[in-house]
Structure 1
Amino acid sequence: MSDQPRKFEEFRVSQKLGEGTFSQVLKVKHKASGKFYAMKRFRKRFNSTFEEIQNLREIQALRRLNPHNHVIDLIEVIFDQKHGVLALNFELMDCNLYELFLRKNVVIGESKAKNYFFQICTGLEYMHSKGIFHRDIKPENILVKDNTIKLADFGSCRGIHSKQPYTEYIATRWYRSPECFLCYGVYNFKMDIWGAGCVLYEILSKAPLFPGSNGLDQLHRIHAVLGTPSAKLLQKMLGQVILAT
């Protein structure tokens, strides 16, 4: 990670790579060095100092996790304090899993699927060992370059030991674990494992495992494949909710 903060005017935007509700990702070129980066530029304006910005959850998590072979590298934080504009520069990857397997119509065999899944699980194991869980594992947040997999977009991450309940509406619906629907914000790092399993199915089949149209339909699809929770399990889950609230 760069020690000397650089300025926005030092970069030229090459193309838009993607966008979401809270940010957009741009391919940028550093004018002086000619190096390319993936710049995550936030839509929100921050009334903060550069030092205060360093305490944002996403930045703190990436500092704790970097470097690792299967976690995206945060290169630097860029902040225009006058206008409150914040961006994070990351290493530039080739594409995400969604683009690789669905848009580019790439067919892979079981051996490569196992290798990719192993890399995903290695990244998750490391992340969890550092006390962080992602909360939004999905193909779009798993990046690829030269057959190396890296977990990305830590905007929704939380500390494993932070106080429950958490935000109920979290993770993209198709990859959301059942407890996120049923437990009023009482869930943990295991939701990342559920999401990874859904991703593995999608890598192999090129179709989502549980493509629910809404929360109720999502649960129905999960129960149709895996069965409904037993009364004993539901009672246990209810007890966890009561303890956490």
Structure 2
Amino acid sequence: MDQWMKLFVLGAGSYGKVYYAVKFHSSSIFAEVAPVKCSDISRSSLLELEAQILTTLKGFPNVVQFFGAALSVDNGIPTYNLFVEYACGGSLHDLIINSKKGMMKMSELEVGFYTYQLLNGILHLHKKGWVHCDIKPANVLVFDNELKLADFGLSLRVGDGMAYMTGRALSNRGTLPYAPPESLTHGFHSKAYDIWSLGCTMAEMMTGHRVWIDCSTKDLQWMIMNEDPMIPD
């Protein structure tokens, strides 16, 4: 960890912060770069889970690659650090926003191409017995013309054909606008959860807008459980 230098903050999440880090080599004029997700060791369980999942998915296409984890002491605080590959194109959310700014929606061909890639990543994840539970544009990274799933901290382990049931209403695990009805009515989290979230993401790529209107959390929960999402013709 001493070889890596954290330069600036790229973003933040419920687990902690993401830094842009570089590592210099004495034998080369080039430096390695990587985002490093950092968390106080006392609340690093989400990052440790993500490291566990990414280790099993190493080398699979359309899944962000994992470079390892390390412990450090930052400003006197024991810190867990998770290193992943750097996405030069930002996130799919950024891509959608930039398309809207340019007044040009993604073509059906582009959406189909990107959706195929995400399905490929989801397939590998499900084969390993995991449900992502938080697929959305902000959790998809862009590498040139390739999309990769990222941010696995909310994932759940499921068996073949099995699902995770909390038994409690309104106990959805992921981001609400991308959550399927059964996750709210019964706390039901199966592999179908990710497919629903992908459908919401695909529609957002097509239209530049989420499938649900902006409203309060309570109203959005009611709409997801009782109404059909706004899918373009």
- Could you tell me which amino acid in structure 2 is paired with residue 86 of structure 1? Y
Aligned to 1:238: none
Give the match for residue 85 of structure 1: 79
The within-5 A match list for 1:1-245 is: 7=1, 9-32=2-25, 34-42=31-39, 44-46=40-42, 56-80=48-72, 83-94=77-88, 95-103=90-98, 105=101, 107=104, 108-161=106-159, 164-165=165-166, 168-183=171-186, 185-222=187-224, 223-225=226-228
1:192-225 Cα distance to aligned partner (Å, 9 max, x none): 1110000001111111012453444224434333
Rounded Cα–Cα distance in structure 1 between residues aligned with 2:81 and 2:120: 28
Q: Following the alignment from structure 1 to structure 2, what is the Cα–Cα distance between the partners of residues 166 and 132?
A: 19
- Using the TM superposition, give the Cα deviation of residue 56 of structure 1 relative to its aligned residue in structure 2, in angstroms: 3.4
The TM-score, its normalising length taken from structure 2, stands at 0.82
Identity of aligned residues (%): 24
The secondary structure found in structure 2 opposite 1:98 is: helix
What SS class does the counterpart of residue 35 from structure 2 fall into?
A: strand
Shift of 1:47: 9.2
Matched residue of 1:22: which SS? coil
Q: For structure 1, which segment, 165-174 or 18-27, has the greater mean C-alpha deviation from structure 2 after superposition?
A: 165-174
In structure 2, stretches of 5+ residues that fail to align are: none
- Counterpart secondary structure, 1:171: coil
Superposition RMSD on alpha carbons, in Å? 2.6
Amino acid in the other structure paired with 1:90: V
More strand by share: 2
Task: Report how many aligned residue pairs link the two structures.
Answer: 213
CA deviation profile, 1:70-101 (whole Å, cap 9, x unmatched):
11101010112784310111010120011111
Q: Distance in 2 between matches of 1:213 and 1:25?
A: 29
TM-aligned CA distance change 1:61 to 1:98, over 3 Å: same
- The AA in structure 1 aligned to 2:83 is N
1:166–1:75 Cα change, 3 Å: farther
CA contact (8 A) 2:164 2:188 kept: no
| TM-score, scaled to structure 1 | 0.78
Q: Which runs of 5+ in 1 are unaligned?
A: 1-6, 227-245
Q: Residue 178 and residue 163 in structure 1: after superposition, are their counterparts in 2 closer, same or farther (change >3 A)? A: closer
Paired amino acid for 1:165? T
Contact 1:181 1:215 in 2 (8 A): no
Offset at residue 64 of structure 1 (A)? 0.9
TM-superposed CA distance for 1:25, in Å, is 1.3
Deviates most, 23-32 or 144-153: 23-32
Work out the CA distance in 2 between the residues paired with 1:27 and 1:65: 23
Residues 47 and 200 (structure 1), Cα distance of their counterparts in 2 relative to 1, 3 Å cut: closer
Give structure 1 regions of 4+ aligned residues with deviation exceeding 6 angstroms.
Answer: none
Cα deviation, residue 12, structure 1: 2.2
Conserved? CA contact 1:212–1:221, under 8 Å: no
